Amino acid sequence: MSETTLPAAEPSPLRAQVQAIGGLLLRDLRVTRREALAFLTRTVMQPLLFVFVFAFLFPRIGQGVGGGGGADFATVLVPGLVAVAVIFQGIIAVALPLSTEFGGTKEIEDRIMAPVPVATVAVENILYGAVQSVFAGLLVLPMVAAIPATPVALEVSSVPLLLAVVVTSACLSGSLGLALGTYVSPRQIGLMFSVVVLPLTFLGAVYYPWTALDALPWLQWLVLLNPLVYVSEGLRAALTPSIETMSPAVVLGALVASTALLAGAGVRGFLRRTIG
Q: pLDDT tens digit string along 156-213? A: 888 999 999 999 999 999 999 999 988 887 777 777 777 888 888 899 999 899 999 9
Cα dist from 269 to 90, 131, 169, 177, 200, whole Å: 17, 21, 21, 12, 21
Could you tell me if residue 202 is inside a domain? yes
Q: pTM here?
A: 0.84
Could you tell me if residue 268 is inside a domain? yes
State how far the Cα of 33 lies from the Cα of 171, in Å rounded to an integer.
21
pLDDT tens, 29-74?
A: 777 777 777 777 777 777 878 788 877 887 777 665 554 444 478 8
pLDDT tens, 144-166?
A: 888 888 888 888 888 999 999 99
**CB burial readout 33-53, b (16+ within 10 A) else e:** eeeeeebeebbbeebbebbbe
Could you tell me if residue 145 is inside a domain? yes
Cβ atoms of residues 256 and 232 within 8 Å? no
3-state secondary structure 121-167: HHHHHHHHHHHHHHHHHHHHHHHHHHCCCCCCCCCCCCHHHHHHHHH
Rg of the chain's alpha carbons, rounded to an integer?
A: 21
Q: pLDDT at position 153, please?
A: 85
Could you tell me if residue 195 is inside a domain? yes
Please, what is the Cα angle at 238 between 134 and 207, to 5 degrees? 80
State how far the Cα of 134 lies from the Cα of 138, in Å rounded to an integer.
6
Q: pLDDT at position 108, please?
A: 61
Task: Quickly state the pLDDT bin for 112 (edges 50, 70, 90).
Answer: low
Could you tell me if residue 7 is inside a domain? no
Number of domains in the chain: 1
Print the domain residue range for 135: 14-275
Could you tell me if residue 5 is inside a domain? no
Query: With 80 as the cut, is the pLDDT of residue 80 above it?
Result: yes
Q: pLDDT at position 270, please?
A: 87
Q: pLDDT at position 107, please?
A: 60
DSSP letter string, 162-201 = HHHHHHHHHHHHHHHHHHHHHHS-GGGHHHHIIIIIHHHH
Could you tell me if residue 34 is inside a domain? yes
Q: Indicate the length of the chain as a whole number.
A: 276
Cβ atoms of residues 177 and 129 within 8 Å? yes
Could you tell me if residue 248 is inside a domain? yes
SS3 content of the chain, % helix, strand, coil (to 5): 80, 0, 20
CB within 8 Å of 229: residues ≥ 6 apart: 203, 204, 205, 210, 223, 246
Task: Quickly state the pLDDT bin for 87 (edges 50, 70, 90).
Answer: very high
Span of 96-105, 193-202, 259-268 with lowest mean pLDDT: 96-105
